[in-house]
Amino acid sequence: MKLRIISATLLFALAATATAEDGGKTLAATLDIYAFPKAGQAAEQQSKDEAACYDWAATNTGTDPFNAQKEQAAATQEAEQKAKQAQGATQGAGASGAVKGAAAGAVVGELSHADTGESAAIGAAVGLVASRRRARAAGEQAQQQAAAQADQAITASAEDIANFKKAFSTCMEAKDYLVKY
């Protein structure tokens, strides 16, 4: 209970600071929610009501829009890192494939009584090409998977913010404000 009171007090202070710094922009307006006092509430009362509704909406939806925006940015950054890692994973794949191919070619050349060196060279070339193709395909798949995960996180976050805005608006309407977002 103390945490909620402290949270509401901090939000009220944040709203008052934001109003002063943003040239009159309220906490609701910062969230792209516009609240008009239908009963002629003073600006100070509106700030208090917005802080209380912010706390109520955050508690009831489990979402804090300011944290959700940070989480979206983190998900995007993580996807970019995974894509870079996937690109780096393909490096060196050709060399290991060439070594394996050369070994296999030498064995085949020895068993078939052909020129072992020539068979190893052919095996190395085949191994190199096959290994690079597999590595490239795996890298592309990893990049697609990372992008899909990032998109999913961003979509979930957007839904959470929309639910928060609905809850916040409902609270403000109950306090006699006309609300649009």
Is residue 42 pLDDT above 70, yes or no? yes
* CB-CB neighbours of 44 under 10 Å: 12
Of 8-22, 50-64, 97-111, 150-164, which one has max mean pLDDT? 50-64
Q: Which two tokens stand for residue 76?
A: 């995007």
The tens digit of pLDDT for each residue in 116-171 reads 777 777 767 777 677 777 878 877 887 788 778 778 877 878 899 999 999 999 99
pTM beyond 0.85: the answer is: no
Mean pLDDT of 19-38: 80
Nearest Cα to 11, choosing from 33, 36, 28?
28
Could you tell me the residue ranges of all domains in the chain? 2-66+164-180, 77-161
Of 38-52, 68-82, 107-121, which one has max mean pLDDT? 38-52
Distance CA 140, CA 65 (A): 33
- For 154, the enclosing helix (H) or strand (E) is helix 116-174
Which pLDDT band holds residue 94 (cuts at 50, 70, 90)? low
pLDDT score, position 151: 80
Distance CA 120, CA 111 (A): 12
